[in-house]
Chains A and B, each alone.
Chain A
C-alpha cells in the first residue's frame, strides 16, 4: 500500500504556490498582450525605420535569457530605490518579455490580412479605426491565436524562474516540500499535474475557438 507523509497542509501549500504562478502568468500575459497589441500595430503600420529602436529593445527582451533579465531588473530596481517587491518586478519583466514575442505575433497576423480586404473596408467608408476593429482584429485573431496560446503556456512555465527572486510559486513550493519530505517523485508528479491542470483549459479554449472558426473559414 502506498504511503506518504504529504499532509493536507502541504497540498494547500502547493495550491498557494500554484495561485502565485497563476497570478504572475495572468498579469504578465495581460500586460504583455496589451503592449504587444500596441507595438504590433505600430510595427505593421509605421515605417520600419521609425520602429527600429522599438524592434531593437524588443530583440533584447527576446534574446537575453529570462533569468538574467529577472536578476538584473531586481538589482536595478534596488539600486534605483524603486522599492518594488519581487512580485511586481517579476510581473513587469515577464510582461515585457511576453510583449516582445506578442508584438511579432500581432504584426504577423495583421500583415496576413489581405490588402484588398482592407481596401474594400475603407472604400465602404469605414474609418481606419473601424477597419481595425471590425475587419483587421477579428481576421488577425484567427491567425494569431495558436501562437498566442503557445506563448501563454510558455510564459506559465517560464514564470518558475521568479523563484530566483525568492518568490514561492508552484515550482519553488514543490522544491521546499521535496527537501523536507524526501519524496521527490510523488511531489513532482503532483506538481506536474497542477501545471497541467492550469494549462489545459487555455489549450482547450484555443482548440475550441479554432474549430469553430474553421467551420467558416
Chain B
C-alpha cells in the first residue's frame, strides 16, 4: 500500500505539491491526469525518494520513504518507475540493461539474472533484441525495455510517468498494451498519462491534478462522465 499524507513540496519559491493525500491499495491502478506543470511527475519522484519533500509523509508498505533511517536503495527495489524521456543505458545491450540491477543490487548470478531478463523481455515482445544496443531500438521498444528492466527487480509497485508522450503516435499502442497486460496481472500501478482512453479503460480510479492540488479523484465513470469540479471538466474538454 502506498499512503501519501498531506505532502508539500517546493522548488525554491514555487510550490509544486500543495498538500497531496492519496492512498493506493495493493492491486489498484490509479491514473493521474492534469495539465503540464501540475506536479504529477514530481509526485512520482517523491514516492521513490528521488526528490525530498518539505512536509507530510509518504509510506510504502508502512515504511516512511523520507525518514532518515530508511534505506532508500532497499526500498526502491520494490518500486519500479519508467520515465517519459528515454533512459536506456546506452553502453549496455538490451539484455545487460535488464540484468544490471538484479546482479548489482540483488547480487544475483549472471545466469539467474539473465533467465529473469529473458523472461521479462519476452513478455514485452523484445526476445529478439537481447544482444542489440538501445540506439537500435525504436522509441516504443526503448520504453518496453525500460518496463522490462524495472520488472526484472520484481517490484510490488510500478510508477509510469507519461511513458507514451515522447512516442510517435503509431508506437503508443504497443506500450499501452504492455501496461494493460501488467494491470491485468494485478500489478499495483500509478500511471501519469495523457491517454484518456487508457485512463478510462484500465484504471480503478482517476486522479485529476491542478496546480499542485489533487482537485478530484474517483472512478473513471465519475471523472469522465460526471466530473464534480469545473477544472476537471475544462481539462477534459481541452484534451478531447
Kindly list chain B residues whose C-beta atoms are within 8 Å of the C-beta of A139: 89-91
Interface residues of B in 147-172 (CB under 8 A from A): 149-150, 153
Please pick, from B45, B76, B90, the residue contacting A124 in the complex, using a CB distance under 8 A: B76
Judge if B208 is at the interface, Cβ distance under 8 Å: no
Tell whether A125 pairs with B77 under 8 Å between CB atoms, given A120-B146, A217-B135. Answer: yes
The answer to whether B100 touches A116 (Cβ under 8 A) is: no
Please tell me which stretch of B52-60, B79-87, B178-186, B197-205 contacts chain A, meaning at least 4 of its Cβ atoms lie within 8 angstroms of it: B79-87
Write out, one digit per residue, whether chain A residues 173-216 have a CB within 8 A of any chain B CB (1) or not (0): 00000000000000000000000000000000000000001001
Query: Is A5's CB within 8 Å of the partner chain B?
Result: no
Q: A116 near B90 (CB under 8 angstroms)?
A: no
Interface centre among A114, A124, A134, A216, by most chain B C-beta atoms within 10 angstroms, is A124
> With A124-B153, A125-B74 known to touch, is A116 a contact of B87 (CB < 8 Å)?
yes
Q: Check if B67 is an interface residue, CB within 8 A of chain A.
A: no
Q: Is the C-beta of A130 less than 8 angstroms from some C-beta in chain B? A: yes
Q: Least Cβ distance of B144 to chain A in Å?
A: 14
Smallest Cβ-Cβ distance to B161: which chain A residue = A116
- Taking a contact as CB atoms under 8 Å apart, the answer to whether B90 and A119 are in contact is no
CA distance A126 to B103 in the complex (A): 10
**A residues less than 8 Å from B85 (CB atoms):** 114, 116
Closest to B82 in A: A120
Q: A125 touching B105 by the CB < 8 A rule?
A: yes
Interface residues of B in 81-107 (CB under 8 A from A): 81, 83, 85, 87-91, 100-101, 104-106
Once bound together, how far apart are the Cα atoms of A135 and B83, in whole Å?
17
Question: Given the complex, which residues of A lie within 8 Å of B83, measured CB to CB?
Answer: 116, 119-120
Contact A124 B87 (CB under 8 A): no
Contact status of A126 and B87, CB under 8 A, knowing A119-B45, A120-B146, A216-B133: no
CA distance A138 to B77 in the complex (A): 23
Interface check B42, CB cutoff 8 A: no
Residue from B91, B104, B150 in contact with A130 in the complex, judged by beta carbons closer than 8 Å: B104
The reply on A127 being an interface residue by CB < 8 A is: yes
Instruction: Report the bound CA distance from A130 to B101 in whole Å.
Output: 10
Residues of A within 8 A of B81 (CB): 120, 123
Judged by a CB distance under 8 angstroms, whether B193 is at the interface is no
The distance in angstroms between the C-alpha atoms of A180 and B87, with both chains bound, is: 64
Q: Are A124 and B149 in contact (CB under 8 A)?
A: yes
Q: Judge if B69 is at the interface, Cβ distance under 8 Å.
A: no
Check A123 against B76 for contact (C-beta < 8 Å): yes
Are B101's CB and A124's CB within 8 A? Answer: yes
B133 touches A126 (CB 8 A): no
Contacts of A134 in B (CB 8 A): 89, 100, 104
Beta-carbon contact of A216 and B90 below 8 Å: yes
CA distance A216 to B91 in the complex (A): 7
B79: nearest chain-A partner, CB-CB: A123
Of the candidates B74, B81, B90, B153, the one having the most CB atoms from chain A within 10 angstroms of its own CB is: B90
Partner of A121, one of B45, B77, B79, B89: B89
Measured in the bound complex, the distance between the Cα atoms of B149 and A57 in whole Å is 44
Asked if B91 contacts A124 (CB within 8 A), the reply is no
Asked if B153 contacts A125 (CB within 8 A), the reply is yes
Instruction: Give the residue of A119, A124, A127 whose beta carbon is less than 8 angstroms from that of B150.
Output: A124
Cβ proximity bits A108-149 to B, threshold 8 Å, 1 near / 0 not: 000000101101111111110010001100110010000000
Chain A contacts of B104 at CB under 8 A?
126, 130, 134
* A126 in contact with B101 given A114-B85, A119-B83, A217-B135 (CB within 8 Å): yes
Taking CB atoms, residues of chain B closer than 8 Å to A114 are 85, 87
What residues on A are CB-neighbors of B90 within 8 Å? 139, 216-217
Do B76 and A119 touch across chains, with their CB atoms under 8 A apart?
no
Nearest B residue to A138 via CB reads: B91
A127 & B73 in contact (Cβ 8 Å cutoff)? yes
Interface mask (B45-74 → A, CB under 8 Å = 1, otherwise 0): 100101000000000000000000000011
Whether B50 contacts A123 by the Cβ 8 Å rule is: yes
Contacts of A125 on B, CB cut-off 8 Å? 73-74, 76-77, 101, 105-106, 153
**4 closest A-B pairs by CB:** A124-B101, A120-B87, A216-B133, A125-B105
